[in-house]
Amino acid sequence: NAGVTQTPKFQVLKTGQSMTLQCAQDMNHEYMSWYRQDPGMGLRLIHYSVGAGITDQGEVPNGYNVSRSTTEDFPLRLLSAAPSQTSVYFCASRLTGGNEKLFFGSGTQLSVL
Amino acid sequence: GQQLNQSPQSMFIQEGEDVSMNCTSSSIFNTWLWYKQDPGEGPVLLIALYKAGELTSNGRLTAQFGITRKDSFLNISASIPSDVGIYFCAGQLNRDDKIIFGKGTRLHILP
């Protein structure tokens, strides 16, 4: 098992550019989520999904879109990147049914100039 | 919305010392979690707590779920260099619900 795989590891964007952060897991986890980590702010939940076809907003959803067409993949889209979106992004997944152990990817470091 | 406040924000301790950190919430959680993040990695689950008053250990780590369900603490005994990292508390209201994280406590260990 590869676990939770995030790509790319590093990305630099110009303001206004769009891009998609990829996340894939091979553990058949129903629940997937995206967090951003900023200095002094901890991990803040952006969007999450409890299964294919279902997504919901977290604490800081503005500026981000997600979709969940398959169980394995949960891409995060930035339609028009802003400097405030410079951050480290983590994808995490877990089983549902009362299992709270989140498995995290190794992160994507995004800089928006 | 739900917020978790962790303290202290950072700690500098000598190797071998015990460490204590805590987490308080503005609202009730029914599950409390403690994660550790090593540099350049994603967080990893250390301890999960499910009942108010519960005290759980994992090696040198001990965590407690507060009676009010609005707080939790984590103790690390006899710290070693590999304990360096960021420790996050996290809360979950109901099973299968989203998991909310605190801002973290950064632990530094002096030689």
3-state secondary structure A13-49: ECCCCCEEEEEEECCCCCEEEEEEEECCCEEEEEEEE
> How are beta strands A10-13 and A108-112 bridged, if at all?
parallel
Q: Is any Cβ of chain A less than 8 angstroms from the Cβ of B103? A: yes
Q: Whose structure tokens read 């029914």? A: B30
Taking a contact as any Cβ pair under 8 Å apart, which residues of chain B between 31 and 70 contact chain A?
31, 33, 35, 40-45, 48
Rounded distance, CA A91 to CA A78, Å? 15
**Cα separations (Å) of B18 from A100, B6, B42, B63, B77?**
28, 18, 25, 13, 4
Q: pLDDT grade, residue B94 (50/70/90)? A: confident
Report the pLDDT averaged over residues B15-34.
95
Across the interface, do B101 and A56 touch by the CB < 8 Å criterion? Answer: no
Q: What is the pLDDT of residues A50-104, one digit of tens each?
A: 999 999 999 999 999 999 999 999 999 999 999 999 999 999 999 877 666 889 9
CB contact (8 A) between residue A42 and residue B45: no
Question: What's chain B's average pLDDT?
Answer: 93
Q: How high is the pLDDT of residue A98?
A: 65
